[in-house]
Amino acid sequence: MLTPSGRFQTNTRLCLSISDFHPDTWNPAWTVSTIITGLLSFMNETAPTLGSLTSTDSEKRVLAKKSREFNLKDRVFCDLFEDLANEIRTELAEEGRRDAAEEAVLEEINSSRRRRHNCVCS
């Protein structure tokens, strides 16, 4: 794992039956689909194993959002997944605009409160 996920340690071998950690359990009949299904299953459970982490769902969501920017910095990712990289760029730009709009509204609310607080009434 290269991207922090909250489930696996980064840059650490994983102790899974489908990894090189257990060559005796490797099955050459496994397909990419089978392997991905196995990883997905392991990511969704909480059983500890060498190379795993424990985190809350909220922490995992934060890391998942951050992983988009992490992946965009990886040239190989952008070359291999050009459509996805463009989709991520669009999402990040939209989120940036929404965040800026929300920030502007909050600043206006705070400014209005400050003006009312500083008002000297007769």
Model confidence over 34-90: pLDDT tens digits? 989 988 888 888 888 888 888 898 998 999 899 999 999 999 999 999 999 999 999
Say yes or no: 2 and 61 in one domain.
yes
Considering its fold, how many domains does the chain have in total? 2
State which of 48, 65, 82 marks the end of a domain: 65
Say yes or no: 59 and 3 in one domain.
yes
Could you read off the pLDDT of 11-20 as tens digits, one per residue?
Answer: 888 777 777 7
Among 6, 70, 18, 13, CA closest to 43: 6
- 3-state secondary structure at position 52: strand
- Distances from the Cα of 118 to the Cα of 16, 33, 112, angstroms: 63, 64, 10
Say yes or no: 21 and 40 in one domain.
yes
Say yes or no: 90 and 122 in one domain.
yes
- Distances from the Cα of 23 to the Cα of 17, 19, 94, 109, angstroms: 8, 7, 45, 61
Catalytic residue of the set 15, 78, 119, 121? 15
87 token code pair: 């989709």
Q: Which residues constitute the domain of residue 118?
A: 74-122
121 is catalytic: no
Say yes or no: 46 and 91 in one domain.
no
Q: pTM here? A: 0.59
The CATH number assigned to the domain holding 20 equals 3.10.110.10
Say yes or no: 52 and 97 in one domain.
no
